[in-house]
Structures are given as structure tokens and as C-alpha cells.
Structure 1
Amino acid sequence: MVKFQETQLDRTFSALSDPTRRALLARLEAEDALSVSELAQPFAMSLPAVMKHLDVLSDAGLITRTKTGRTVSCRLNADPMEEAMGWLARYQRFWTQRLDALEAMLNERRQERGPAGEGGGGA
């Protein structure tokens, strides 16, 4: 049996795949730090459910947690998203090149047909 170990990129995308986790990150982006109860407040789910989402975000390195007394505060750590953005940028370049080539081909065909589709084969 092959043992699979998730890479940082896999953990990042997995964590970002859930809309609740993305909403939690958006709240943390807007605030310097929020307690777990403050983060959970707008969500229609139990505190343990929110804690599970925070565990996934923490495991992916997207948040850091600090405990002061009985209060656990969370902060955004966007560093793991940098690798994800780099991975996505490669595919953005790929699709941009493909779409640019398609646009060039369509422009060539328009020029061959002349104004208002003259010389074309019709539809």
C-alpha cells in the first residue's frame, strides 16, 4: 500500500474548497484577529462545527491560533496561498495564450471574408 502524504498545496486547495472556510478567512482578512466565538457568531451552525472548519484551516497553515486565558483568537496567515496563486498563474498563462491564439485565428477568418461576412459560406 502506498502511503499518501498531502502536500501544502493540496491542503491549501482542500481548505479553500469549502464556502464556510472561505467565509471564515474573509472575516479574518477584514479583522486583525477574532476570537473563535466572534468568528462563529454569524454562522448558522454549532460552535463545534465551526471549530472543525478552523482545524482544517489551521492544518493547512491558513490561520494561526493563540490562547489567552480561556479565549482562543485566530489570525489569517496568507502565506500558503502564495504557492496556490503561483500554481494558478501557470494555468492563467496557458489559457491566455490559447485564447489569444483563438482570437488571432478568428480575426484572420474575418479578414478573409471581408466586410459583413462577404465571401463566406453562409450558415
Structure 2
Amino acid sequence: MKIFSVASDGNEMAELESSRYINLALKQIEENIEWLKTAKKPVQAVLIHIEVLVSLSKRFTVNANLLIKKDKVQDWKIVFNQWFERCGSKIPAKFRDGIKQNADELFAELEQYGH
């Protein structure tokens, strides 16, 4: 086995392990997006999964660019916005604008990655 740097992923055994976590985040987003398509509740978990994916993408850019599909990110954004239109009025007013702004910022960051 080859070692090529001091980084945590600096050897042949570890270099692709970040892909597992990126794929897990993608899976969680897909599951939560499916739920959002018909959800009538003002709660969601998709934004935390996107935040985790953005964090992983910043650190493991090459793997993120290989695994994230830009068209899927656009689909997720559409579904999230549809959910927000449908359920946003049920979110307490003091949080509503902040949640939407947070979502817009996370999607904008995520749109920088993928193919």
C-alpha cells in the first residue's frame, strides 16, 4: 500500500473513504427530499444534510465533484422551495425568513460542486 502524504487521507487505503460519507449525505438528502415532496409539516431535515454535504465538499472537493450531480441539486432546490411555499406559513414568523435565507445560501454553496 502506498503512502503519499501526511493527510488523514494520504494513503491508498484512506483516499476514497470520504466518498462513503459524501454518498451517505447524498442518500440522506434523497430520502428527505422524497418526504418533502408531499410533506404538510413545517419541519424538515434536508438542510442539515445539505450543510454536512457542503462541509464534506469543501474538504474533499475532488470526490464531491465526482459524486454530486448538478441536475439533482437543482431538483432538490425546486422540491425544497415547493415545500417552503406549501408549509412556510406554518413556520413561526420569527424563523421563516431566516430558514429561507439559510436554504438559499446552502443551495448556492452546494451548486459550486458536482458535474
User: TM-score of the superposition, structure 2-length normalised?
Assistant: 0.29
Q: Which has the larger radius of gyration?
A: 1
Asked which structure has the greater RCO (Cα within 8 Å, sep 6+), the reply is 2
Q: Kindly indicate which of the two structures has a greater share of residues assigned to helix.
A: 2
Q: Kindly indicate which of the two structures has a greater share of residues assigned to strand.
A: 1
